[in-house]
Homo-oligomer: A and B are copies of this chain.
Amino acid sequence: MSTPGLGDVTRGRVLFGGDYNPEQWPEETWQEDVRLMKEASVTSVTLGVFAWAKLEPRPGAREFGWLDRVMALLHAHGIGVVLATPTSSPPPWLGRLHPDTLPRDRDGRTEWWGGRQHFSHSSAAYRRHAAAITEDLAARYGDHPALTMWHVNNEYCTYDWGDEAAGAFRRWLRDRYGTLDALNAAWGTAFWSQGYGDWAEVLPPRRAHYLNNPAQVLDFRRCTSDLLLECYVAERDIVRRYSPGVPVTTNFMPLGAGQDAWRWAREEDVVSVGLSPDPRDPLGAQYGALVQDLTRSQARGPWMLMEQAAGAVNWRGVNHPKPRGLNRLWSFQAVARGADAVCYFQWRQSRQGAEKFHSGMLGHAGEQGRTYREVRELGAELARVGGEISGRHAPAEVAVLHDWHAWWAGTQDGRPSREVDPAEVVRAWHRALWEARIGTDFAHPGYDLSAYPLVVVPQLYLLTDAAIDNLVGYVRGGGTLVSGFLTGIADRDDRIRPGGMDARLRELFGIRTLHEWWPLDPGEHAECDGFRGTLWSEEIEAGDGVAHARYRGGELDGLPAVLRRGRAWYVSTLPAPDALRDLLTDVAAGAGVRPVLDGLPARVEAVRRQDLLFLLNHGRDPVTVAVPGTHRDLLTRRRVTDAVELDRYGVAVLAP
């Protein structure tokens, strides 16, 4: 039997809807909900994400009646249900009965119930109770006609430094290393007298007097991702048993730090994500694009925007609402980048609880509120055009490499510069490509990259031998590679490679000696030929690499800033945004990669999804976009020739 996927749910549509928590409302409200959902063209809702205590109010109890009624009601109105396992927020009784289910932080402090996600991924009691409720839920609703998808848990992102987690960590380490000798070697425990003589001595990296062992911290993060994945897989396998044809997902945090998403995505039938850029962030749209590119790349096809905000969120310092039109614009941006589902947290804004100030599709202002009215218009629009969009997949020509292991290793204490945040470096490089209007995928450094004319490595501090061979082979095979600094520094175990950077990479880029890193202070610049570098600079002695740009002035005067050897480029600083954009535009052109569209106005984005061309005006002023030839705009249903008018936050979806 083939694996089910998002296409089995969308069936030619772009799904529209959101999280629905009817258990927070009296049943009379449900009728109004369904009426307003229908008016808003809602086709999919996610139920039960935080319903464990409603389903199992006492240990072993089962209260399915209310859920039966909601499922029936939704089904009666043709609204599909993504049913969640409720395991991300256990009921209070679980913590009381089994205090060992509560996580401990690095300082030994308990994370109590009263919020959410107060479960230890390693707790046997938690896993047992989570499996039981999942099993019963799957048994009851596995073949319910409203069921379209399973959603396991929610935003996996927790850590545990406690004793039971220590046991799980040791088990994981035994699997990885086999012997203590191997662990001691991998962790470099000869440093600071940390040699382990007994497995029982091995602990999570708890609070220490001074810096923790970085390899231990790295493995703890790897292990945490894997233990959470065990939790996911256990529940996934249960629901699959009961409904083999129903796809399973769990929603990622955008560019979340906690999960090795490449590995996780392989275990999902549908890749989904939550995404709520700050409406005030001038680069909010670029951040959205990055998350969308990353999610599409993880999905290797259409994906699900599981949770966005119709208006303001409630977790920033100042939570700005979405100005008129922005919700529509950013929704179409996601669709342009492969989303076949546009969903929200949440349908009806809560009146109580910690997220009562997080907007909903139906806000506190109700159906007269601007937010709901815009939601309704968007729903209608997606319903109308979804059929001509859904299902298309359009990989890009450029791959940006990203790897969680490198990120984890590259963000530890005691590194050359705390100013260097790998995630920010990825954002800077993606921004350069985005502003160059070059479409990008993301990829793991170990993937087959041969289909990409251009591969970009913003920063991969840690690279395995296999990944390095992969990159070298890629260039040897005709590919063009651009790498930023701090790439290939450490091996799999976060061991610094001889010479301070892998010898194969140094050869690839034509570097003879990497003498010293010269990280830059906040606000400091390194003058280079034609641009200014920020964040970092390097004292490099070139081998047979050619200096494309040199440092000018200061201690590095005359040394190469950008080094090139054939199709391999090395950028030893972070050029200012325009400079990096121009550099990548040139390198891409050399590799035969062109912008999506030429001559675009400043704030307009163009995205291709197979034969469809999405034009998105991120500005508040109307603009005219030159588009050679004649197209049909799916939204206006009009033909346009050579030019398209876009209103403030306007969108066009042009078909040939």
Contacts and interface: CB of A to CB of B under 8 A. Distances in A.
Nearest to A89: B193
A517 B516 CA distance: 49
Nearest to A501: B364
Interface in A19-59: 21, 23-24, 50-54, 57-58
B58 A197 contact: yes
Interface in A157-215: 158, 187-198, 200-203, 205-215
B209 A158 contact: yes
A115 to B, nearest CB: 3
Contacts of A493: 352
Contacts of A108: 109-110
Nearest to A92: B201
A62 to B, nearest CB: 13
Q: Which of A51, A194, A198 counts the most chain B CB atoms within 10 A?
A: A194
Interface string A384-410: 000000000000000000000000000
A418 interface: yes
Interface stretch (A6-14, A315-323, A469-477): A315-323
A114 interface: yes
B515 A206 contact: no
A353 B417 contact: no
Given A357-B416, A500-B364, A516 B213 contact: no
Interface residues of A, number: 117
A188 B320 contact: no
A520 interface: yes
A351 interface: yes
Contact of A517 (B192, B195, B321): B321
Interface string A40-82: 0000000000111110011000000000000000000000000
A368 interface: yes
A499 interface: yes
Interface string A515-551: 1111111100000000000000001000000000000
Q: Which of A193, A321, A366, A517 counts the most chain B CB atoms within 10 A?
A: A193
A419 interface: yes
A52 B189 CA distance: 11
Q: How many copies, total?
A: 3
Contacts of A495: 351-352
Nearest to A158: B209
A86 interface: yes
A199 to B, nearest CB: 11
Contact of A21 (B189, B191, B513): B191
Given A319-B519, A353-B188, A112 B207 contact: yes
A116 interface: yes
A111 B354 CA distance: 28
A350 to B, nearest CB: 6
Contacts of A642: none
B114 A195 contact: no
A247 interface: no
A127 interface: no
B321 A516 contact: yes
A300 interface: no
A326 to B, nearest CB: 10
B54 A195 contact: yes
Interface in A266-280: 280
A414 interface: yes
Given A193-B91, A195-B53, A201-B92, A188 B115 contact: no
Contact of A494 (B193, B352, B366): B352
Given A109-B108, A321-B539, A414-B355, A194 B519 contact: no
Given A319-B416, A418-B318, A215 B352 contact: yes
Given A210-B354, A318-B417, A352-B188, A197 B24 contact: no
A195 B56 CA distance: 10
A169 B117 CA distance: 24
A416 B357 CA distance: 6
A514 interface: yes
Nearest to A53: B195
A113 interface: yes
Interface in A564-618: none
Given A311-B516, A356-B496, A357-B415, 18 more contacts: A23-B190, A24-B190, A92-B197, A96-B200, A111-B209, A112-B207, A114-B213, A118-B209, A187-B352, A188-B351, A191-B354, A192-B353, A318-B419, A352-B493, A352-B496, A357-B414, A365-B499, A371-B515
Interface of A: 21, 23-24, 50-54, 57-58, 86, 89-93, 95-96, 103, 107-118, 158, 187-198, 200-203, 205-216, 280, 311-312, 314-315, 317-321, 323-324, 349-358, 363-366, 368-371, 413-419, 493-496, 498-500, 512-522, 539, 555
Q: Give 9 closest A-B pairs by Cβ, nearest first.
A: A188-B352, A191-B353, A115-B208, A364-B500, A211-B354, A53-B195, A92-B201, A89-B193, A321-B516
27 contacts: A24-B188, A51-B193, A54-B193, A58-B198, A89-B192, A91-B195, A95-B201, A114-B203, A114-B216, A116-B211, A117-B210, A187-B352, A188-B353, A191-B355, A211-B354, A215-B353, A311-B516, A312-B517, A315-B414, A318-B416, A319-B416, A350-B496, A352-B493, A358-B414, A364-B496, A365-B500, A365-B515
